[in-house]
């Protein structure tokens, strides 16, 4: 898109959902991606992807209840995931480590070990190399990813182009993943 429009300004940032919503409402931000979109009349949301979250551990043959024990890293996948996790593991102790980033969780697992629910595509290499192991018998969770933008935006055409590009790249990643090359 930058090649087509060199004047296009792109700012990619990671922020708390509340901050993203505030920036959308204030007109500072044109488009945000989030897991739990707000139900606000002046914002439109559209599902653009699905994350398949799997429980992985640095130790092979870890049982699900062991994985969500002391070494469990709680990655913030939104309120709905937190509730699903509690239903799936009602006796799970309160996690001592909470992270807002899957990439930070991967780095943590590499350095200190433990277990976490992470998106399957980001795990392919670590699983193949035996650095991480899927926890057999653990439930798989899915989370929808939404694009959120103002209902009345002067950049509606540009937002549509970005969403089309995002959808095209997501299809390509899925095809590569299914073919075993992603």
**How does pLDDT run across 106-165, given as a tens digit for each residue?**
999 999 999 999 999 899 999 999 999 999 999 999 999 999 999 988 888 888 888 888
Nearest to 80 by CA among 13, 150, 149, 17: 17
Please tell me whether residue 176 adopts helix, strand or coil conformation: helix
Give the model confidence (pLDDT) of 45-63 as tens digits: 999 888 999 999 999 999 9
pLDDT at 168 over 90: no
Calpha distance 49→166 (Å, rounded): 9
- Tell me how crowded residue 110 is: count the other CB atoms within 10 A of its CB: 12
Instruction: Work out the average pLDDT over 10-18.
Output: 80
The beta strand positions in 38-140, using DSSP E, are 43-57, 72-75, 97-99, 115-119, 133-134
Q: For position 178, what pLDDT does the model report?
A: 66
Calpha distance 109→102 (Å, rounded): 10
Pairing of strands 97-99, 115-119: unpaired
Domains, the chain: 17-49+143-179 (3.40.190.10), 51-142 (3.40.190.10)
């Amino acid at each position: 898109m930058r090649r087509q429009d060199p004047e296009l300004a792109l700012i990619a940032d990671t922020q708390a959902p509340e901050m993203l919503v505030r920036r959308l409402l204030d007109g500072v931000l044109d488009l945000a991606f989030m897991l739990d979109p707000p139900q606000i009349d002046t914002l439109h949301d559209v599902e653009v992807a699905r994350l398949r979250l799997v429980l992985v551990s640095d130790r092979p043959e870890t049982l699900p209840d062991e994985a969500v024990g002391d070494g469990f890293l709680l990655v913030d996948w939104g309120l709905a995931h937190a509730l699903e996790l509690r239903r799936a593991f009602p006796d799970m102790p309160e996690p001592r480590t909470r992270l807002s980033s899957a990439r930070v969780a991967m780095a943590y697992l590499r350095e200190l070990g433990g277990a976490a629910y992470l998106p399957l595509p980001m795990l392919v290499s670590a699983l193949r190399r035996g650095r991480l192991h899927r926890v057999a018998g653990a439930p798989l969770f899915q989370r929808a990813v939404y694009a959120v933008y103002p209902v009345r935006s002067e950049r509606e055409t540009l937002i549509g182009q970005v969403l089309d590009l995002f959808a095209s790249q997501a299809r390509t990643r899925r095809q590569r993943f299914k073919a075993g090359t992603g």
